[in-house]
Structure 1
Amino acid sequence: MIYVNSNISIDEKEIKLDFIRASGPGGQNVNKVASAVQLRFDVEGSSSLPDKVRARLVLLAGRRITDDGILIIKAERFRTQALNRQDAINRLTGLIREALKEPKIRRKTKPSASSKRRMLDGKRHRSNLKKLRKSAQTTDD
């Protein structure tokens, strides 16, 4: 079991781990060892996640989720399979924890009367300065 928080845990049977060759530098070792991990998690078919969390997770995942609702995480930061496996699982649990947070509802606000007055006073002041400049230019000629 992978524990996300006290309420949500994911059965390891819901996660599929494939070990693949990592890209990038590494010499001959990179061609011989499959140290990168590709984690697949069926978000749409998971019974571990509540509906609201599932919907937010799909939005958070973005391009990492397929049309079938499968989340794919590729971990190749480390040189060993074990560390990459743990990294992929940590990234999955981090995404789910982020999806657990309910977004704050935005409440529309109006500017106060005093802030409107300050804004208009500032505009009036700037306008007067520009008018003074104009009249000074015409007297020079």
Structure 2
Amino acid sequence: MFDLSSELQFQTSRSSGPGGQNVNKVESKVEVRLNIPASQILNEEQKQKIQQRLKSQLTTEGDLVVTSQESRSQMKNKELAVKKLYAVLTKAFEEPRVRKATKPTKASTLERLQTKRVASERKASRSRKNWED
């Protein structure tokens, strides 16, 4: 792919969850930010794809933020966060496969019609009939 390490901003904080003294003392959670509009490495086409496909994951400034707190080690979390960021970017650049339109099979059509017929008969049987003898 490409090397974005010069444009990544790292921020650490205390991790959440169980862990006792380690969680309370050590800032092992890592947050990685990549400012998409200000990036010198990404071209305009790539920036557009990211902004369209990852719209919900971007901040108002256009930063892509990924966090990791799986490990007790800050370095391990840093590596994991960078891997996650690259995975998100790789997925954003992939072209979605175009779905081929297909006809419903005979079996599925017959099954649908049979289900409709049964439902119709069930509802018809609920109607009030003239019970006069």
TM-score between the two structures when normalised by the length of structure 2? 0.70
Could you tell me the percent identity over the aligned residues? 31
Q: CA RMSD in A?
A: 3.7
1:73 Cα deviation (Å)?
1.2
2:57 to 34, 59, 64: 64
- Mapped to 1, the partners of 2:111 and 2:28 lie a distance apart of 63
- Mapped to 1, the partners of 2:117 and 2:21 lie a distance apart of 73
2:21 to 28, 38, 42: 28
Q: 1:128 to 1:47 in 2, by over 3 A?
A: same
TM-score between the two structures when normalised by the length of structure 1? 0.67
Q: 1:95 to 1:126 in 2, by over 3 A?
A: closer
Structure 1 alignment gaps of length 5 or more? 1-7
Question: Which residue matches 1:45?
Answer: 38
Aligned partners of 2:35 and 2:64 also within 8 Å: yes
- Mapped to 2, the partners of 1:126 and 1:63 lie a distance apart of 42
Structure 2 alignment gaps of length 5 or more? none
Q: 1:122 to 1:12 in 2, by over 3 A?
A: closer
Give the total of aligned pairs.
133
**Secondary structure of 2:34's aligned partner:** strand
4+ long deviations beyond 3 Å: 50-53, 59-64, 104-112, 115-131, 137-141
